Amino acid sequence: MLSLNFEICQVNACKDLVFSETTGVYDSVYNTTGYGAPNIELADMESAILTITDPAGTISTVDLTPQGFPTSDLIADGYTITSTTPLVDGQWTFIYTVTPSLLGSEPYTKTISKLFYCNADCCVTKMLTKVDVCDCCNDNTDLNNYVKVSTFLTSLIKAASCGDVTSFSSILKIVNKLCKNSGCKTC
């Protein structure tokens, strides 16, 4: 049975998303859930829609059909979804829906959640530029603040990689507070 797969990542200074379909072609050994017999054929698909829910619960829909999706081409660079403002940090949900053209066929869907922290990472990087590196510095405030927020950022990244939404949310609040107190602007 066909099972959709896709990847999505944040790029371009936290402003864009890149969507890549990774479903692939059916193979009896390596990919039994890909497009093609005995599963549904790629040619029998009519549309591909990506539904995006941001951390605030705002829902956006992107029609990927004009961009050549669905596809079994795993080599493609993907499709860039651009934003005019930086995407906020937090939990994002993506639902990829591919609808067959065959009358009475149910759509195929795949949902993934991502924990994005691009803005927090950018702020911590900017804080590093404030650290005065000299042998005789008496005031280590900027260095101490950087070490503290950098430690929390490492914890945030670990929580994201484990999918620990509760810890991620708590740590993100701490990182955002430390960044705000440092005077960091959005990236």
Cα distance between residue 147 and residue 125, in whole Å: 11
pLDDT of residue 5: 96
Cα distance between residue 5 and residue 135, in whole Å: 52
The one-letter code for the residue type at 182 is S
Tens of pLDDT, residue by residue over 114-165, are 999 999 998 888 888 777 766 556 667 777 888 899 999 999 999 999 999 9
| pLDDT at residue 111 is higher than 90 | yes
Q: What six digits make up the tokens of 134? A: 């000299």
pLDDT of residue 183: 66
Tens of pLDDT, residue by residue over 14-29, are 899 999 999 999 999 9
pLDDT of residue 14: 86
Question: CB of 108 within 8 A of CB of 95?
Answer: no
Average pLDDT over residues 164-186: 86
Question: CB of 115 within 8 A of CB of 165?
Answer: yes
Tens of pLDDT, residue by residue over 70-82, are 999 877 678 999 9
pLDDT of residue 94: 98
Q: What six digits make up the tokens of 3? A: 């099972």
Q: What six digits make up the tokens of 76? A: 């493609």
Cα first-last separation, the chain: 43
- Cα 68 → chain centroid: 21
Q: What six digits make up the tokens of 41? A: 């054929």
Which CATH code is given to the segment(s) 6-116? 2.60.40
pLDDT of residue 81: 95
Backbone angles phi, psi at 137, to 5 degrees: -70, 135
Q: What residue segments make up the domains of the chain, in order of their start? A: 6-116, 118-182
Cα distance between residue 13 and residue 118, in whole Å: 7
pLDDT of residue 110: 98
CB atoms within 10 A of CB 74: 14
